[in-house]
Amino acid sequence: MKPTTTLGHSTLTVNRIGLGCMGMSEFYGSFDEKESINTLHKAIDLGVNFFDTADMYGWGANERLLGKAFKGRWEEVILATKFAVMRGPNGEFLGLNGKPEYIRKACDQSLQNLGVESIDLYYMHRQDPKVEIEEIVGAMSELVKQGKVKHLGLSEANAATLRRAHAVHPITALQTEYSLWSREPEEEIFDVCKELGITFVAYSPLGRGFLTGAIKSRADLEPGDFRLNNPRFTEEAISENSKFVEVIDQIAQSKKVTKAQVALAWVLSQNDEIVAIPGTRKVQRLEENLGAFNVALTETDLALIQKSMPSKTIGNRY
């Protein structure tokens, strides 16, 4: 399996298993700054160079954490961050903003949080329904002209939006949830990405941890974990969706690897350009995830997965 790829039409070569950093500051229960920084440093040492954050993760705290961890090592890092989801001073969600003046302000704040002069890949996190995509991408392209941003990306955009955006300024990457229990991008998005030369970045490739087999009931989640409010993590959904884990486990046992490694290898096997950004705070999980590069799924394995997986996931993604 090819361990690296070039993002879109850019010159950025990234490791095809990057690191999603959201859980280091919020959403998935308790976190520890020292442990997170240790994991970030270890990731670089192991050859990971693609790191994903957003200004809304910990409402700035996650970007500041990465700024601290990567000080003096930025030449080894390709960083993606995002704008559009507004948070209040106490973390309250204030909706989406895609207005040009907001985008300029958000970018400046991210640069300050990270302690850098330019962002490698700047994503629109979600589209503000009140602002046309042409206006949003137009404002983002101004940041490229100013040297504050090198390349542009979108997150969770549909095929039509992606085409319209790409017509304004080249889109380097599209980030969307994709895993064995979230396969919607196969319907249209993959074809459009291939046609336009846009790299597909899969977030939550391990189904927010569920596909690793680590979550057998709601009791396995800490108080405050956002998954407790997620439709896929009700007791009924966990019980029904365990059928996904059973299929993965069957393959994992036959290859003497972990369920996480099978789930990630499957995502990467969909084509040679897909990049996955599983999130973790722990070195042990980071090392396990990178072991997916050594898992060779045969045509027989892939056919078995396709045939055996439940046709429907219980619960919406959000």
111-164: pLDDT as tens digits? 999 999 999 999 999 999 999 999 999 999 999 999 999 999 999 999 999 999
For 185-204, the pLDDT digits (tens) are 999 999 999 999 999 999 99
User: Which one, of 190, 197, 150, 189, lies nearest residue 9 by Cα?
Assistant: 197
CA pair distance 312, 182, nearest whole angstrom? 9
The answer to whether position 142 is within a domain reads: yes
CA pair distance 49, 302, nearest whole angstrom? 28
CA pair distance 290, 288, nearest whole angstrom? 6
End-to-end CA distance of the chain: 32
The answer to whether position 227 is within a domain reads: no
Instruction: Output the pTM of the full model.
Output: 0.95
Strands ordered across the beta sheet of 119-124? 19-20, 50-52, 78-83, 119-124, 149-155, 171-177, 199-203, 275-277
Identify the domain containing residue 114 by its residue range: 4-216+259-295
Q: How far is CA 228 from the centre of its chain?
A: 20
State what percent of residues in the chain have pLDDT above 90. 84
The answer to whether position 312 is within a domain reads: no
Range from 12-16, 27-31, 224-228, 309-313 carrying the lowest mean pLDDT: 27-31
pLDDT band at residue 1 using 50, 70 and 90 as cut-offs: confident
Q: Does position 224 have pLDDT exceeding 90, yes or no?
A: no
CA pair distance 275, 211, nearest whole angstrom? 18
Contact criterion met (CB below 8 Å) for 82 and 54: yes
Q: Does position 105 have pLDDT exceeding 80, yes or no?
A: yes
Q: Does position 260 have pLDDT exceeding 90, yes or no?
A: yes
Q: Does position 27 have pLDDT exceeding 90, yes or no?
A: no
CA pair distance 102, 238, nearest whole angstrom? 39
User: What's the pLDDT score for residue 191?
Assistant: 97
The answer to whether position 202 is within a domain reads: yes
The answer to whether position 194 is within a domain reads: yes
Integer-rounded Cα radius of gyration of the chain:
19
- Number of structural domains (the chain) is 1
Contact criterion met (CB below 8 Å) for 286 and 43: yes
List the catalytic residues: 57
Range from 35-44, 147-156, 162-171, 209-218 carrying the lowest mean pLDDT: 209-218
User: What's the pLDDT score for residue 249?
Assistant: 95
The answer to whether position 50 is within a domain reads: yes
The pLDDT mean for the chain works out to 95
CA pair distance 21, 114, nearest whole angstrom? 13
CATH number, residue 115: 3.20.20.100
Contact criterion met (CB below 8 Å) for 34 and 68: no
The answer to whether position 112 is within a domain reads: yes
Q: Does position 28 have pLDDT exceeding 90, yes or no?
A: no
Range from 94-103, 165-174, 231-240, 262-271 carrying the lowest mean pLDDT: 231-240
- Please state the rounded mean pLDDT for residues 270-294: 95
CA pair distance 39, 28, nearest whole angstrom? 16
The answer to whether position 78 is within a domain reads: yes
State what percent of residues in the chain have pLDDT above 70. 99
CA pair distance 273, 199, nearest whole angstrom? 6
